[in-house]
Amino acid sequence: IMNMVRSMLKAKQLPKYFWGEVASTAAYILNRCPSKRLEGVTPEEVWSNNKPDVSHLRLFGSMGYKHVPEQLRRKLDDKGEKMILLGYHPTGGYKLFNPISKQIVVSRDVMLDESKGWNSESNKDEQYSQVIIDSVDAETNEDQNEESGGACTSNALRRSQRDTRIPGRLKGFEMISDVDVNEDRDIVHFALFSETEPVTFEEAILNSKWVDSMKDELRSIEKNQVWELVTLPKETNQSKVGL
């Protein structure tokens, strides 16, 4: 994953402090790519038993314009804010970076131009607040790891002598001990456990976030009167769906 992260950052000339978001995006994409080890099946399909939808995937680092609602702008303000595509949110929206406010936002109402990207040369010294906090934590953790190195080594040796029972759902995967994984060990787990979107209505109603999102959409449709009440045809194979 880190090889992919380096390539993505380099290709779009993005600052290194985006590596965390890019790693999550790389895992999201790899989950939806056919794997030789899985005989051409995607990891997402093996995990959820559903073929992933990739129609929403766009070129990483593309320039985009997020729509600004009328209530949040004045008459002469721009209708869109310039954004940079960083990744995908579990609820279905795009994760976008605002180079002006230095914040990452999630939105579905965005137009992306895959032929354009962000020129980061003029923003080398500018980072969003989350990155600054993360860098301080990283330095603290480094010092703690140096002090407790001996204890970690002895614990790792004790764990390696135990017999591990592999869960049934993971028998198709190659299991590797954490001790044998390189310095990127915290990131290799992203591909297996990253959140996924529900594929069917039955799956969506099990998640309160999706239910709230559907209710908001229905309220918006009703408010704007963009619907027409019709009688359900008697001779149809389709069933009614309600919240």
One-letter amino acid at 146 equals E
Give the mean model confidence (pLDDT) for residues 63-87. 83
Say how many CA atoms lie within 13 Å of 222 toward its Cβ. 6
Place of tokens 């500018």: 126
Name the band, by pLDDT with cuts 50, 70 and 90, for residue 119.
Answer: low
Name the band, by pLDDT with cuts 50, 70 and 90, for residue 195.
Answer: low
Give the mean model confidence (pLDDT) for residues 189-213. 72
Instruction: Write out the DSSP string of 127-184.
Output: --HHHHHHHHHHHHHHHHHHHTHHHHHHHHHHHHTS--PPPGGGTTS----GGGS-TT
| Predicted pLDDT at 144 | 45
User: Are 38 and 172 within 8 A, CB to CB?
Assistant: yes
User: Are 20 and 134 within 8 A, CB to CB?
Assistant: yes
What are the residue boundaries of the structural domains of the chain, listed by start?
1-197, 201-230
Name the band, by pLDDT with cuts 50, 70 and 90, for residue 165.
Answer: low
- Return the percent helix, strand and coil in the chain, to nearest 5: 40, 15, 45
Give the mean model confidence (pLDDT) for residues 212-220. 86
Give the mean model confidence (pLDDT) for residues 149-165. 49
The residue with greater pLDDT, 45 or 77, is: 45
| Predicted pLDDT at 152 | 45
Name the band, by pLDDT with cuts 50, 70 and 90, for residue 172.
Answer: low
User: Are 57 and 51 within 8 A, CB to CB?
Assistant: no
Q: Is the pLDDT confidence value at 126 over 50?
A: no
**Cα 108 to Cα 110: distance, rounded to the nearest angstrom:** 6
| Predicted pLDDT at 171 | 56
| Predicted pLDDT at 199 | 72
Q: Is the pLDDT confidence value at 219 over 50?
A: yes
Sheet with 94-98: strands ordered across = 103-107, 94-98, 80-88, 62-67, 110-117
pLDDT tens for each residue of 79-95 = 888 899 999 988 788 99
pLDDT, mean over the chain: 72
Q: Is the pLDDT confidence value at 212 over 60?
A: yes
